[in-house]
Structure 1
Amino acid sequence: MPHLILADASLAFGHVPLLDHAEFQLEAGERVALIGRNGCGKSSLLRALAGQGALDDGSVWRQPGLRLAYVPQEPPFDPERSVFEAVVAGMGEVSALLAEYHEVSHAMAISNDNHEALLDRLHHLQAELETHNAWSFEAQAERVIQRFSLDPDARIGTLSGGQKKRLALAQALAVTPDILLLDEPTNHLDIGAIEWLEDMLLASGVAMVFVTHDRRFLDRVATRIVELDRGCLQSFPGNFTDYVARKEQMLHDESVQNAKFDKFLAQEEVWIRKGIEARRTRNEGRVRRLEQLRRDRAARRDRQGKVELAIDAGDKSGKLVAELLGVSKAFGDKTVVRDFSCRLQRGDRIGVIGSNGAGKTTLLRLILGELAPDSGSVRLGTKLQVAYFDQFRTQLDDEAALVDVISPGSDFVEIGNERKHVISYLGDFLFAPERARSPVKSLSGGERNRLLLARLFARPANVLVLDEPTNDLDIDTLELLEQLLQDYSGTLFLVSHDRAFLDNVVTQTIAPEGEGRWHEYAGGYQDWADYQAFRRNEKAAQETDKRVQTPRQDVPAEPKVRADGKRKLSYKETRELEALPGQIAALEAEQATITQRLEDPALYQSQPQEAQQLSTRLGEIDDELMALLERWEALES
């Protein structure tokens, strides 16, 4: 039985319908990715499915009794609330009791003032919670907060963008939903957090609909792709790679069919203009058919054009862009960059990766000479023209008109040797002429990103610094931007959490090694990840060799209590310790096999019960592995 059904749905903003009698249904265990151009209505559709937005026509049916959780693109939070209060907020009538109980417990732990009054209130709250059988809710809230590495007592106003996204996900999962609706869940998350989220969603078994433009995330998580295109929903079984192959063929077939239709219509228009023959009684049927053809052509919604991207690399910079020797930088007690050296040349495309707060922006400012190092030296090349793309879009004035953002005080922009009218240039970035005088605040997130790219590319630059340029951009625009940057003759610095984008664009990667140390690697993100995996495997093999090669036959018998005061292992414990590595390896192998099975979209269609069993087993393996690792540590110590 479907979890959710969208029937004959229509929705329009202005004269263009976002949904045109659209149909959709979500089955148990499915992970459906909703994709489409910026502004096509994906977020509006998600809000309608969640019951937070109305349709103009049609209906949304949800299976009675199922719990639904919705995480919008920018979740609204009260900055004065604590993390714990926000997580329990969706738990119904017990949420206020749980929030107060946590607050009183915290107050008692940090202060001795009013201890008796607090204790009385705590007893009263305990009684209330027992009456509502709410202790399981508290345990669930604490579990997800710990899972997302959040401080339950932190105020929301102090959290970073990535932490707020984690909080929104924690709030949704705390109610153990049957249906999960996610709008751009990877925004503001670093690569490690995105990969962790992928694993968690794969293991959860929850039916979900999500909107994302992260192609690696789509490939790994989705069991079905649904494209919102010109008001209609088209379904493609499988992941994003499968969708690309099928969509290419569909677009080809559609263009051939449209060409045949247009040719036939042109022939009929020529015939009607002959006059007398067309007006004879015996040809009235042909005249009516022509009128219907005209109506069909007027109703046809052609696919939206592509963004036209071009960039002027300006005058060539010197061959050397920057050389750093032994550079270090600290803020207070925290060393962000320690003893870093590199030499960057014209034409390099450098990806900078790392967790949020690792110091990526600080490193870039050091490389470009905008920040003085505490020690070491920075030598910059000549003729550098630097242009920045800011992920927080602080360069955009919300009240300014689009034309003034692109070319203040002038009606033209110059790209290379070509002079273009600013309205025509905005059209290259899919902004209609009637929107040229609209204020920036009227734009969606993806449209703001397009506008910022248009502003950036309207000025010559031989050094580009792009900080998260892919946020909110649709997949078509992402691929065009990739092509542009691959052909760019200047030097590129790219900070991004989009793994596919990094792999397709950069020639080398700078990544943190911990304790402020950074290292430069050849290739993109996957090359760096493969090297890290190789290092881990090599280290594990060396540790295994050390254990195997430790001589045993000539070691004299130890006393029951060793000289360092630690108890000697019994024979049984020794045998148990020797067996643990094999047991752990077997569980990890089973874990990898199950994860691979769960990534197969066909499994959820043909064997949904097995998919649920595998998800449950994956959770059990995590617990078993943790227990074995703790036992290993106890025996070795």
Structure 2
Amino acid sequence: MPYIILTDASLAFGHVPLLDHADFQLDAGERVALIGRNGTGKSSLLAALAGCGGLDDGKLWLQPGLRIGYVPQEPPFAAGQTVFEAVVAGMGEVSRLLGEYHTVSHALGEAGADEDELLQRMHTLQTELEARQAWSFEAQAERVIQRFSLDAERLVGTLSGGQKKRLALAQALAVSPDLLLLDEPTNHLDVAAIEWLEEMLLHSTMTLVLITHDRRFLERVATRIVELDRGRLLSCPGSFAEYQARKEAMLHDEALANARFDKFLAQEEVWIRQGIKARRTRNEGRVLRLERLRRERQARRERQGKVELTLDAGDRSGKLVAALEGVGKRFADKCVVRDFSCRVQRGDKIGIIGPNGAGKTTLLRLILGELAPDTGRVIVGTKVQVAYFDQFRSQLDEQATLIDIISPGSDFVEIGNQKKHVISYLGDFLFAPQRARSLVSSLSGGERNRLLLARLFARPANVLVLDEPTNDLDIETLELLEELLQDYPGTLFLVSHDRAFLDNVVTQTIAAEGDGIWREYAGGYQDWADHQATRQRDEVPAMGGLRSRDTQTAATRAGDGSRKVVTRSAAGGRLTWKEAQELAALPDRIAGLEAEQKRIGERLADPALYQSPPQEAQSLAVRLHAIDEELLALLERWEALEG
């Protein structure tokens, strides 16, 4: 039996229809990811499913007795509540009854209280609470608070962004929901919390609808992808990768159909404008058809264009951007950075990863010379121009217009010695001309991030500091931002918990390892994770402990051959002639495989491939997987031979 049936739903914001006679059905056990461009109405749809927002038209049916847990993008909490009170508050009527029960219980001990009346009221409340199984809910609240590592007595107003997100999840799970609705659940969570949430959702029996732009999270969790595109809901069973292939084919077919329609309409427009003789013999049915075609063309909603990202790197900085020698920093009794040394060169793309509260912002300020170290020395290079992307959007004035944010006091912005009108520049970031004078307060979370990027890129900078730039950005904009940063000639510092984004952008990683210790690693997040798994694999047998799931996965991927390689490298012997020849041949072998990998990727991205029998696409996918495995083995062998 379905949990939700949405029929002929319509919802508009101003003149823009967010839902245009859309239909949707959710069955028990599904894990549905709702995706789409920023501002298309995903959060509004999720709120409507949760009963927190209405539809303009259409019908929403929910299975009777369905328990729903809902985590909005920005959960509303009273700052003066304790964590326990906030979790219990999510239980609706049960929360009210529990609150009254505890109030009556406290009043019994006060002098002058009417004990008989209070005892009678307590008995009535207790009967109602037992009928609703409220005591089990209260125990469940305590369990989820413990599971999310929260302090039940701590005030909500003192929590960080990540802790508030965990609190919202705890509140939603406390009622043991049949259906869980999550709006951007990974925002403000660190990588460890995201991976924990992945595992929890994968092993849960709950039905799930979530909005997320974290591609790795999406790939692991979702069993069906539903895209909200121009008011329509397009469903694609299977993984995100399967959806991407189908979407390419759908857009191609849509473009062909629109082109045929426009050509036919143009021919009819030519016919209607023919001379007097033609008008006398005009077919009235053909005239009516032309009028219908005009109405259809006028009603067609074109797909929104892509964000146009350009970045002015300004004047080149010196070759050395920063050097740290034995740097240490403490705040009261907490050591944030302990004896850390590194050199940052022009053009480095550095990812900084670590749990919330590890001191990532402190480390960045030390590197850029904005914060003096307690011990050690910091050398900042010459001609350094820094631009910041702030995850809290504190640079945005809620009452300012979009134009004021981008170019206060001027109608033009200058990028790379070229002037551009501010309205045209905002259009590059998908802000329509009529919205250029809207207030910042009217923007969605994703639109605010796009505006912050537009403001950032309107100023020259040879050092970019991006603090969680991926929050709320849609997948297409994320991919375009990745391409821009890959080609950026300046120096980049990226703080992010988006694992795919880190892997696609950074060339080296600085990771927090606890107790103020930071270490540098080559590569992105996955390279660091593999290194950690390998280190744990090597340490665990000596400790006589059990391997974790991640460690076992890494050990299986590496295989017995890699263990032999590590043993030989540790021996420190010289290479034989045969090994030297093998090492010399490795770069060409890797280049050949990468070229083949690129050709297969281009072929798989071609929509024409999916018009033919599926055997070719399947064999290409198998070969692509084999190349990945072979490249990994060759890179491990190269590292071992050079070690």
Paired residues for 1:531-550 under 5 Å: 531-544=531-544
Paired residues for 1:143-542 under 5 Å: 143-276=143-276, 278-281=278-281, 283-542=283-542
Any conservation in 1 of the 2:385–2:462 contact (CA below 8 Å)? yes
* CA 1:376–1:114: 2 relative to 1, 3 Å: farther
Indicate the residue corresponding to 1:76 in structure 2.
76
* TM-score normalized by the length of structure 1: 0.82
Moved more, 32-41 or 121-130: 121-130
Structure 1 residue 125: deviation in Å? 6.1
Letter paired with 2:303:
R
3-state SS of paired residue (2:542): helix
3-state SS of paired residue (1:434): helix
3-state SS of paired residue (1:347): coil
- Determine whether 1:91 maps to 2:88: no
Aligned counterparts of 1:196 and 1:362: Cα–Cα separation in 2: 26
Structure 1 residue 295: deviation in Å? 1.3
3-state SS of paired residue (2:325): strand
Map Cα deviations across residues 569-598 of structure 1 (whole Å, 9 max, x no partner).
xxxxxxxxxxxx6xx999x999x99xxxxx
Aligned counterparts of 2:369 and 2:421: Cα–Cα separation in 1: 35
3-state SS of paired residue (1:225): strand
Letter paired with 1:445:
G
* CA 1:115–1:202: 2 relative to 1, 3 Å: farther
Structure 1 residue 50: deviation in Å? 1.2
* CA 1:29–1:343: 2 relative to 1, 3 Å: same
Aligned counterparts of 2:248 and 2:289: Cα–Cα separation in 1: 32
Aligned counterparts of 2:95 and 2:413: Cα–Cα separation in 1: 56
Letter paired with 1:219:
E
Structure 1 residue 242: deviation in Å? 1.3
Any conservation in 1 of the 2:328–2:337 contact (CA below 8 Å)? yes
Aligned counterparts of 2:328 and 2:160: Cα–Cα separation in 1: 25
Indicate the residue corresponding to 1:31 in structure 2.
31
Query: Structure 1: where are the runs of 5+ without partners?
Result: 108-112, 548-580, 594-637
Indicate the residue corresponding to 1:132 in structure 2.
129
3-state SS of paired residue (1:480): helix
Any conservation in 2 of the 1:73–1:184 contact (CA below 8 Å)? yes
Letter paired with 2:129:
H
Structure 1 residue 425: deviation in Å? 0.7
* CA 1:382–1:203: 2 relative to 1, 3 Å: same
Pick 1 or 2: higher relative contact order, CA cutoff 8 A, min separation 6: 1
Aligned counterparts of 2:467 and 2:511: Cα–Cα separation in 1: 15
Paired residues for 1:55-66 under 5 Å: 55-66=55-66
Moved more, 184-193 or 487-496: 184-193
Aligned counterparts of 2:106 and 2:326: Cα–Cα separation in 1: 46
Aligned counterparts of 1:497 and 1:89: Cα–Cα separation in 2: 30
Map Cα deviations across residues 129-177 of structure 1 (whole Å, 9 max, x no partner).
4763232122111111111111111111111111111111111111111
* TM-score normalized by the length of structure 2: 0.81
* CA 1:115–1:390: 2 relative to 1, 3 Å: farther
* CA 1:123–1:376: 2 relative to 1, 3 Å: farther
Letter paired with 1:467:
D
* CA 1:532–1:103: 2 relative to 1, 3 Å: farther
3-state SS of paired residue (1:22): strand
Moved more, 338-347 or 90-99: 90-99
* CA 1:150–1:277: 2 relative to 1, 3 Å: farther
Indicate the residue corresponding to 1:557 in structure 2.
none
* CA 1:462–1:64: 2 relative to 1, 3 Å: same
Structure 1 residue 97: deviation in Å? 5.1
Aligned counterparts of 1:433 and 1:9: Cα–Cα separation in 2: 28
3-state SS of paired residue (1:423): helix
Structure 1 residue 269: deviation in Å? 1.5
Over the matched positions of the two proteins, sequence identity in percent amounts to: 76
Letter paired with 1:181:
L
Query: Structure 2: where are the runs of 5+ without partners?
Result: 557-643
Q: Say how many residue pairs are matched.
A: 549
3-state SS of paired residue (1:308): coil
3-state SS of paired residue (1:167): helix
Aligned counterparts of 1:448 and 1:336: Cα–Cα separation in 2: 31
Aligned counterparts of 1:287 and 1:536: Cα–Cα separation in 2: 76
Structure 1 residue 35: deviation in Å? 0.5
Indicate the residue corresponding to 1:11 in structure 2.
11
Structure 1 residue 308: deviation in Å? 0.6
Indicate the residue corresponding to 1:567 in structure 2.
none
Any conservation in 2 of the 1:278–1:287 contact (CA below 8 Å)? no
Structure 1 residue 371: deviation in Å? 0.3
Any conservation in 1 of the 2:97–2:129 contact (CA below 8 Å)? no
Indicate the residue corresponding to 2:584 in structure 1.
none
3-state SS of paired residue (1:3): strand
Aligned counterparts of 1:372 and 1:79: Cα–Cα separation in 2: 33
Structure 1 residue 339: deviation in Å? 0.4
Structure 1 residue 287: deviation in Å? 2.2
3-state SS of paired residue (1:204): coil
Aligned counterparts of 2:500 and 2:200: Cα–Cα separation in 1: 20
3-state SS of paired residue (1:339): strand
Any conservation in 1 of the 2:323–2:343 contact (CA below 8 Å)? yes
* CA 1:124–1:329: 2 relative to 1, 3 Å: farther
Letter paired with 1:349:
K
Structure 1 residue 262: deviation in Å? 1.2
Letter paired with 2:485:
L
Any conservation in 1 of the 2:354–2:513 contact (CA below 8 Å)? no
Any conservation in 1 of the 2:323–2:344 contact (CA below 8 Å)? yes
Map Cα deviations across residues 68-124 of structure 1 (whole Å, 9 max, x no partner).
1211111111111111111112334442454577799999xxxxx98999x999999
* CA 1:266–1:145: 2 relative to 1, 3 Å: same
Indicate the residue corresponding to 1:562 in structure 2.
none
Any conservation in 1 of the 2:104–2:122 contact (CA below 8 Å)? no
Any conservation in 2 of the 1:327–1:375 contact (CA below 8 Å)? yes
Aligned counterparts of 1:17 and 1:47: Cα–Cα separation in 2: 16
Aligned counterparts of 1:127 and 1:339: Cα–Cα separation in 2: 63
**RMSD (Å), alpha carbons:** 2.8
Moved more, 285-294 or 356-365: 285-294
* CA 1:125–1:351: 2 relative to 1, 3 Å: farther
* CA 1:25–1:126: 2 relative to 1, 3 Å: same
Letter paired with 1:509:
T
Aligned counterparts of 1:328 and 1:176: Cα–Cα separation in 2: 46
Structure 1 residue 439: deviation in Å? 1.6
Any conservation in 2 of the 1:97–1:125 contact (CA below 8 Å)? no
Aligned counterparts of 1:313 and 1:422: Cα–Cα separation in 2: 20
Structure 1 residue 284: deviation in Å? 2.4
3-state SS of paired residue (1:259): helix
Any conservation in 1 of the 2:192–2:355 contact (CA below 8 Å)? yes
Indicate the residue corresponding to 2:559 in structure 1.
none
Moved more, 251-260 or 36-45: 251-260
Any conservation in 2 of the 1:101–1:122 contact (CA below 8 Å)? no
Any conservation in 1 of the 2:351–2:493 contact (CA below 8 Å)? yes
Aligned counterparts of 1:278 and 1:346: Cα–Cα separation in 2: 72
Letter paired with 2:452:
L
Aligned counterparts of 1:536 and 1:103: Cα–Cα separation in 2: 51
Map Cα deviations across residues 201-256 of structure 1 (whole Å, 9 max, x no partner).
11111111111111111101100000000000000111211111111111111111
Aligned counterparts of 2:511 and 2:356: Cα–Cα separation in 1: 12
